[in-house]
Amino acid sequence: MSTFLQACVNGLLMGGFYSLMGMGQNVIFGVMKIVNFCHGEMLMVGMYLTFVLYTFFGIDPYLSVPIVAVVMFLFGALIQHTLITPSLGTKSFTNLLFLTVGLGLLLSNGALVIFGSTYYTINTPYSQTYINLGPVTMALPRLISFGVLVVISSALFAFLKYTTTGKQIRAVSQNPVGAEVVGINVKSIYILTYGIGVALAGVAGSLLTGFYTIFPTAGASFGFRALIVVVVGGLGSIPGAFLAGIFLGLLETMVALFISPSYSDLIVFVTFIVILVVRQTIIARRR
């Protein structure tokens, strides 16, 4: 039982990162109806940015989260304005697919050229601090990261639901033509939305550095899982993405506990395919 509880806690803590990645991907897809295939590489950029701030400026990884969020937001807004917006005018999914995939390859290979293939870690005075709660042991960096993730997720949900800008984002996601008719600047909303999605990925990468190694392809697995979270949780649903991320984290740890860690990825993708088939069957019957 103690091992089962420990696995549940570990899955919950890791699922928070999948949730944040999925919410960033969902914000972008919900508004612009495009899949950001370089989302995982944005997480990797956030990890390296946090590493640079800690190594050269001595800024604690958790204190660097606001800096990373602002820098990644501006980076995402720049990409949206210069690359994504012209491609949206073509109304071609293929162009956007190759654009985001190519951008991801550019970022990962750029990191490889600048930082090399060395695996980096950030060791803080509290990196090896653990908290015992009965039969469960939690690493302090993981616990802090999960708390920050919950706060960010709640803030994002409140922003989209209650603020004027959030309502404009939701209006554009429902009907961009109608939103433009009533005076909403759709292009500005697109830039804002993509910036928010990239900032969320960068923050997730920054929070990961407390207990995860940093290398050029670190974001690949998180990018694929973000796509799974988006599909399982519902396209455009922020609460659904949060719950789907938690479910994915728990699924991985349960598979590792009861079957084998080497089968975690296999079971995750098989589950993903099964959910797709079942959902498509339900939709077909309703039609």
**What pLDDT is attached to residue 221?**
82
* Both structure tokens of 48: 């390296």
**Domain range 2-286, its CATH number among 1.10.3470, 1.10.10, 1.20.1070, 3.10.20:** 1.10.3470
Mean pLDDT (the chain) is: 87
Residues 66-100 pLDDT 10s: 999 999 999 999 999 888 888 776 666 778 888 88
Q: Identify which of 267, 274, 273, 263 has the alpha carbon closest to the alpha carbon of residue 248.
A: 267
**What pLDDT is attached to residue 125?**
84
> For the chain, what percent of residues have pLDDT higher than 90?
29
Alpha-carbon dihedral angle through residues 269, 273, 274, 278, given to the nearest 10 degrees? 150
Cα→Cα distances 69→76, 103, 262, Å: 10, 20, 34
Say what the pTM is.
0.90
3-state class of 184 per DSSP?
Answer: coil
Q: What is the amino acid identity at position 261?
A: P
Burial class (CB in 10 A: 0-12, 13-18, 19+), 69: buried
Residues 182-226 pLDDT 10s: 989 988 999 999 999 999 999 999 999 988 899 999 888 888 888
pLDDT interval class at 110 (50, 70, 90): very high
**What pLDDT is attached to residue 48?**
95
Q: Strand 136-139 vs strand 130-133: parallel, antiparallel, or unpaired?
A: antiparallel
